[in-house]
Structure 1
């Protein structure tokens, strides 16, 4: 009996994991303008970033970069020493928001940061998964499969 309960719990965990992954948002930083000097400072207004979401920075490689810095580094446009936490330069960089809290990004090219090419993202721990959205996100087929498996294990 205990092994059946473990299997049921494992199946429920898989469904919850699928639902969390299905509910993650992918945000194109700067919208259609991308990560450029014309990047709108109000871009984050009205957006609710949650753990599991991703930021996609699209820009011309060689003309811009993405540098993750500390809060102090963000304020001072400083990416030296301990202020720099990570950097990307491919022109199409995806960064997963895997923890709740504040994350600061700047462009590391010339005076771009001082000109306003910087982004503060505040991520909440809510992964947008709720019992009400579980069946919707996973789909009826997966939910029925888990329900059928659970029923089979009980008999």
Structure 2
């Protein structure tokens, strides 16, 4: 009986691992702005897309002209990055979406 219970527990653990892998494998990678990249005029880009936690946004841009700042709703609404906001500057940044709302802006001048 103990051996049967051990096998059943192993099967349950395997099923949980498989479901976890399936959940991870359903994540989608999106390039922000599609072929145009992270630049002016991408505010309509999200329309028609359904983003979920775990999806990855790829921000492609000229590093000398833009950056990507991850911030909260207040920072987004005021168009200003609060102190200690995470800033990406590589020109090819991959950011995994967290559960809930995710906000990004470019902190260059009037962008």
TM-score, normalised to structure 2, is 0.89
Q: Name the structure where helix makes up a greater proportion of residues.
A: 1
- Residue 131 of structure 1 is matched in structure 2 by none
Spell out the pairing of 1:51-70 with structure 2 (5 A cutoff). Answer: 51-70=53-72
Task: Provide Cα deviations, 1:101-121, integer angstroms capped at 9, x if missing partner.
Answer: 111100011111xxxxxxxxx
Q: Which has the higher contact order (CA 8 A, sep 6+)?
A: 1
Aligned length: 108
What is the alpha-carbon distance in structure 1 between the residues aligned to residue 104 and residue 85 of structure 2? 10
| Moved >4 Å (runs of 4+) | none
Matched, 1:27 2:30: yes
Q: 1:92 matched to which residue of 2?
A: 92
Which stretch of the first structure deviates more once superposed, 84-93 or 59-68? 84-93
1:1-40 CA-to-partner distances (Å, cap 9, x unmatched) read 2211111011111211221122110010011110012x32
Bigger radius of gyration, 1 or 2?
1
Aligned to 1:13: 16
Gaps of 5+ in 1: 113-155
- The alignment yields a C-alpha RMSD, in angstroms, of 1.3
